[in-house]
Amino acid sequence: MSFRGWASPLAHPIPTLFPTREKAHGRAPGLGELMGTTAGSMRPRRWPVRPKYFAFALIALMMLVVLDKDRVIADPADPIWDHYRTFKWWLIPHGIAGVLVLLLGASQFSDRLRRRLARHRLVGRLYVGAVAVTVPIGILIESIKIANGIAPVRLLVATSCFGALFALTTATGFVMARRHNIVAHRRWMTRSYAIGLVFLTGRTVDHIPWLTSLMTGPDEMLEAHHISGLWLYVFLSLVMAEVALALFGPASRLTGPHKRA
| pTM assigned to the model | 0.70
d(CA 108, CA 123): 7
User: Any idea which of 46-55, 113-122, 225-234, 250-259 has the lowest mean pLDDT?
Assistant: 250-259
What is the tally of structural domains in the chain?
1
Residue 26 inside a domain? The answer is no
> Between these two residues, 56 and 27, which has the higher pLDDT value?
56
Query: CB of 245 within 8 A of CB of 190?
Result: yes
Q: What is the mean pLDDT of residues 141-162?
A: 89
Residue 39 inside a domain? The answer is no
The per-residue pLDDT for 48 is 60
d(CA 104, CA 99): 8
d(CA 228, CA 221): 10
Residue 4 inside a domain? The answer is no
pLDDT at 76 over 50: yes
The total number of residues written for the chain in this structure: 261
> Between these two residues, 158 and 72, which has the higher pLDDT value?
158
d(CA 110, CA 118): 14
For 171-201, write each residue's pLDDT tens digit: 999 999 999 998 999 999 999 999 999 988 8
Residue 254 inside a domain? The answer is no
CA distances from 105 to 108, 113, 233 (A): 5, 12, 19
Expressed as residue numbers, the domain containing 72 is 51-248
Residue 17 inside a domain? The answer is no
Residue 65 inside a domain? The answer is yes
The per-residue pLDDT for 155 is 85
Residue 20 inside a domain? The answer is no
Residue 109 inside a domain? The answer is yes
The per-residue pLDDT for 45 is 53
pLDDT at 2 over 90: no
